[in-house]
Amino acid sequence: MSLMQIPRRVDYGLRAIIYLSTQDPEKCCSITEIAKQQNVPKKFLEKIIQDLMRRGLIRSKRGSCGGYSLARSANEISFYDVIEALEGSITVNACMDEEFSCDQLPRCTMVGVWSEIQRKVTEVFTRTTLADLRRTPCRDIVSASSLSSAA
């Protein structure tokens, strides 16, 4: 009963890379550390992080005292980069996928709506970088707890 929801994979991946963006760029964070801090199943996260590696968003150091760090600076990594690395491109409906074509397309009146949605969603994701998230703890719930911890 919930539509157009991003998968856990992507949420977890974003948690991880956002965590890295808050750490010293030279520091290597282990899977164990990230998983614990962000409350993500460790082995699952391991696989997710491998995908971010292959796409060149983060880099790794192997062996003891190894771990991960951002491959480029936080303002050069967008939400879209992460999402696309993990799940491929966003296609809000089947006909928005280039590889697929619908037989109704020539006389379909709703494709305009899908492309409008797709354009807007993509715009937000490409515009938002990890650096943008630095300051805002949680836009809506800036209440007692978060204020006191910031002091």
Nearer to its own copies, 18 or 28 (CB): 18
Nearer to DNA, 22 or 32 (CB): 32
| Residue 84 DSSP SS3 | helix
Angle, nearest 10°, between helix axes 8-22 and 79-87?
A: 140
For residue 136, what is the DSSP state? -
56 touches DNA (CB under 7 A): no
Nearest approach in angstroms of CB 66 to DNA is: 4
Question: Which of 24, 26, 39, 62 touches DNA (CB under 7 A)?
Answer: 62
Binding at 47: pick from ligand SF4, its own copies, DNA, none (beta carbon under 5-8 Å per type): DNA
Rounded (10°) CA dihedral 41, 21, 54, 31: -30
Nearest approach in angstroms of CB 11 to DNA is: 8
- Measured CA distances, 69 to 24, 26, 112 (Å): 9, 7, 41
Note the residues at the interface with DNA (CB under 7 A). Answer: 7-9, 12, 30-32, 41-44, 46-47, 49-50, 53, 60-68
